[in-house]
Amino acid sequence: DAALSMAVYRNKHRLVYDSSMDPSTTDQAVVTAFRTHSLKGMYAVFQPQIDIKTGQLIGAEALVRWQHPTLGALTPDEFVPLVEKLGYISQITKLMLNEAIRVSALLRKQNRPLVTSVNVSVHDLADPNFFETIKSAVEHFKGEFCDLKLELTETSFSSEIGHISDTLVRLNELGIKVSIDDFGTGYSSLAYLSAFPIQELKIDRAFVTGMVEHEKNCNIIRATLVLADHLKLKTVAEGVEDEKTLTLLDELGCSVAQGYFISKPLPEAEFLKFIDNYLA
Ligand code: C2E
Ligand code: CA
Ligand code: CA
Ligand code: CA
């Protein structure tokens, strides 16, 4: 139940809280906001992704931000896990899908199409309305299905593999791509590679950070890239913070990079300016 979930959450995330803030106040405010569907101050930021070989800008990941009316700025780590546990994640997913699809449609109209990725959880995919939610959002913003990618983030296990897989197949048929997020961590495992129709594998920041210094991380990435190659999957490395890492990823054959070295996640207006500059 909710109270228990909150206790679990607090225990697990004790360290993410600002020490000046009573954790239970934050949790309560977050729960209230979702119960009443008042997500005021929630918005999307966009982090660019580049093709490592050509340097071409090819996409962006949409990440949620929340300037809460009373709590101030909250990072996803402070509310996404709780919201997911309480079963309200679809509210965030809907908002993010709309934002990503709207921005993609806008860019396509300007003749510079870009794929935007949205983080979705197994809870989203198990929802029987998910397919229709996406379809109507694309139609509403007059977007293109091929401009949307879903990053499957695995924070919990789902037993509805069959149903999820069917939904992904239908989305694939529309032209929507699917990526496995945080590959190699949590539940994001080989089993999902085998069960789901996916086109891309995203290497977690935990392996990318320090790959230059730590041979072990480097070898894990090397092996992951071989695996992806055999499965004909595109590879994206997240958390690329310096040029050395980017060069090494290029040498190892990783296709796409995302990280502070290229750009931090940017609010829409700044993201559009970034694109202007990048293309200039
Ligand atoms: P993620 O999907 O693995 O996203 C990557 C995280 O790494 C983002 O943190 C991003 O800001 C951060 N990052 C990107 N490049 C760098 C870098 O070079 N160095 C470092 N140190 N960090 C970098 P963020 O935005 O705080 O999001 C954290 C997590 O929260 C995400 O991890 C994702 O699991 C979840 N999340 C964020 N937005 C959403 C959303 O809209 N829906 C859902 N379900 N989850 C979300
Ligand atoms: Ca992600
Ligand atoms: Ca994640
Ligand atoms: Ca990650």
pLDDT in tens, 53-99: 999 999 999 999 999 988 899 999 999 989 988 889 999 999 999 99
For residue 186, the ligand closest to its alpha carbon is 3
Question: Does the interface predicted TM-score (ipTM) exceed 0.95?
Answer: yes
Nearest residue CA, atom 30 of ligand 1?
76
- Distance (Å) from CA 233 to ligand 1 centroid: 21
**pTM, full prediction:** 0.92
CA distance 74 to 2: 21
What is the residue with the minimal CA distance to atom 10 of ligand 1?
A: 265
